[in-house]
Structure 1
């Protein structure tokens, strides 16, 4: 009986000791910020606001500091759609930069003209030694056929097969040892074979195909299917090096006058929407958080609705059906490569967070170009406060 009592007594002491120790640990965990640090380790990487320039035309991105690799998405997603490869799936996860899953064709817009770049230009800006890279580092080489390469790379067809090691080894797989590269196109058994299926591109330097670095991206077959990271240096190339940005019209500018939260309902003086539905789509629902504008003439009092609450029609062609045909309401002041969307409204502090949303675009034979709604996002963009200038872009109605 005494032994049983002694065991229970010891157990009680241990319980009290560990209870006190646990309380002290939890107190320290919270007081000294260990809880926040631990959560920070398991939460996805947060996207930072893009660097901006306060120009006479309003807040604009500092293109000299904007890169694909810095655009961090905050919501995971996945979608399946038809393409030239049949059925294709695109997936992304929160905390991932968009260069990991977005493709060149998604940014085939006059405002970027990304397809007119070549490896030589990118390498010169980024100080990349192309001779240290492999052919496999340039993703789209994997699906080029010999006729594709001859068409894409200036002067390649006139070279002898033996003088270009990857082409020489490719030809030998089919029992061919001589002639010019252009003449290889006569052999029907290799005419439609993708280079990457016959030889291991990791075994060859990128510059082993002479002049490939001087061929613009859009000279290659199906260049649109390459991921951003599939072009050496493009992920970290700042956007001021994209030639199309010089064509932007930034003349339509207003000021953020009054941020209003979602208790606002049925707002009709809209200055937001989509390419498909126009940019004056009223918000006929209970939650119409928005940023009210001020400016010249009828601009004062217009409302840029929050795309976090209001969705509008978007996309065109076959891919229009993705995401139920809907995208967050917003505007495209910096062109069609992405959509600027008012997202979080902080009425008390007078702050408006805007985000970037992206779309999937494909060029399908006999059908043409088709794009989904802008539904891939959000990526934190420009944060405004009351009286900050904001570029509205075209249309200026």
Structure 2
């Protein structure tokens, strides 16, 4: 049976049975809208007639919580290569700022280019008064790494830098605090290995260390491992204020014509996939999707990542999650992936979500995992709604996507 005809019969069935039940219960005829407005979990704006995220009003703190729990456990070889443990776990409902790290966005948002002074100006948070234990890079520093990171810190007399003075006193007892930090480390280089984690950092503020607020995050040792929430004010910075903010890729807008459930099979006009295999990956079975109309995308489908996976990731970390990620698109760049998730054939609705990845591209480049940290809800579309697609091409992959366990 033609899929659109079957779809129409299903809708007529639910309409008539639902209408009969409604009349039985209330005696009132309910008039259904032919096309509902897009509902959103985030602030949106309009682009070419379609709703898109309003990055000027979206922060990591304002994003919805993740829809499922998960974890990533690094092996001992990875931990040894990096010098720190990039493992993490996340629980359903948790904000992305609690499980995403600075290093995950090294090549995209480039959050490492921020300093606390810049963050304060765009977030409205007084970062100078934040305690040092709230500044996640500090517990990872030694005297040597801190001196190298903070501009001119080594030129200050130690007696003028209370946390450093207390740390050295705690470690070696009495010493000449009128010396600069550079002078002391030149005289006793072994002191450079003293870790700031040995100090009760909650007793000091950012303002207690000269120039700390103007030090780029990327100058600190092991900055890649620090969570977004552990940088004062960063989770409240609007995305469009990031050093490399999200940009639209392409201009194509289509219309959600029909929403199909996972019973669909043999669909070969896809616009979804991954950067690894392209964005024309066909589907053999379990092909829940939205069928599009309008211009160059008439009859094309965007498959649901809830039911279909594709190859993703790069480097050593590309093997995580079996090397698979939900099929989807990148209309706003590669910091995250946009995925069609829940599809309801009876209601004619489809939800859109974000998926994130874990990256480690420091001196030891381990690449990135597939985009498997999600879903983080974005919007829900109804049949007849406009939808922003980004750059759509006629590319087509020869290998189909892989059905998930629930397809």
Give the TM-score normalised by the residue count of structure 2. 0.79
- Aligned-CA RMSD value: 2.2
- Matched length: 346
| 1:222 Cα offset (Å) | 1.6
| 1:142 Cα offset (Å) | 1.1
For the structure 1 residues 259 and 156, does the alpha-carbon distance in structure 2 shift closer, same or farther, using more than 3 Å as the test? same
Alignment check: 8 A CA contact 1:252 1:396 kept:
no
- Higher alpha-carbon deviation: 262-271 or 151-160: 151-160
Aligned to 2:66: 73
For the structure 1 residues 394 and 223, does the alpha-carbon distance in structure 2 shift closer, same or farther, using more than 3 Å as the test? farther
SS at match of 1:64: coil
| 1:292 Cα offset (Å) | 1.5
Please say if 1:294 is aligned against 2:286. Answer: no
Instruction: Encode CA deviations 1:88-136: one digit per residue, 9 max, x unaligned.
Output: 53111111111112111112233x2322222112222333233432111
Between structure 1 and structure 2, the one with the greater Rg is 1
| 1:86 Cα offset (Å) | 5.9
| 1:312 Cα offset (Å) | 0.7
Q: In the alignment, which of 141, 145, 157 is matched to residue 144 of structure 1? A: 141
Give the TM-score normalised by the residue count of structure 1. 0.81
Alignment check: 8 A CA contact 2:151 2:211 kept:
yes
> How is 1:93-108 mapped onto 2 (pairs within 5 angstroms)?
93-108=91-106
- Higher alpha-carbon deviation: 305-314 or 150-159: 150-159
Aligned to 2:161: 164
> How is 1:176-255 mapped onto 2 (pairs within 5 angstroms)?
176-178=175-177, 179-186=179-186, 187-197=188-198, 199-245=199-245, 247-255=247-255
| 1:153 Cα offset (Å) | 1.9
Instruction: Encode CA deviations 1:156-205: one digit per residue, 9 max, x unaligned.
Output: 222111111112222332354342222343233122332223x2211211
Give unpaired runs (5+ residues) of structure 1: 1-46
| 1:58 Cα offset (Å) | 2.9
Structure 2: distance between partners of 1:48 and 1:389? 13
Give unpaired runs (5+ residues) of structure 2: 1-38, 395-407
Alignment check: 8 A CA contact 2:250 2:392 kept:
no
For the structure 1 residues 177 and 296, does the alpha-carbon distance in structure 2 shift closer, same or farther, using more than 3 Å as the test? farther
Structure 2: distance between partners of 1:306 and 1:246? 23
Alignment check: 8 A CA contact 1:147 1:182 kept:
no
| 1:348 Cα offset (Å) | 3.2
* The structure with more helix, counted as a fraction of residues: 1
Structure 2: distance between partners of 1:136 and 1:114? 20
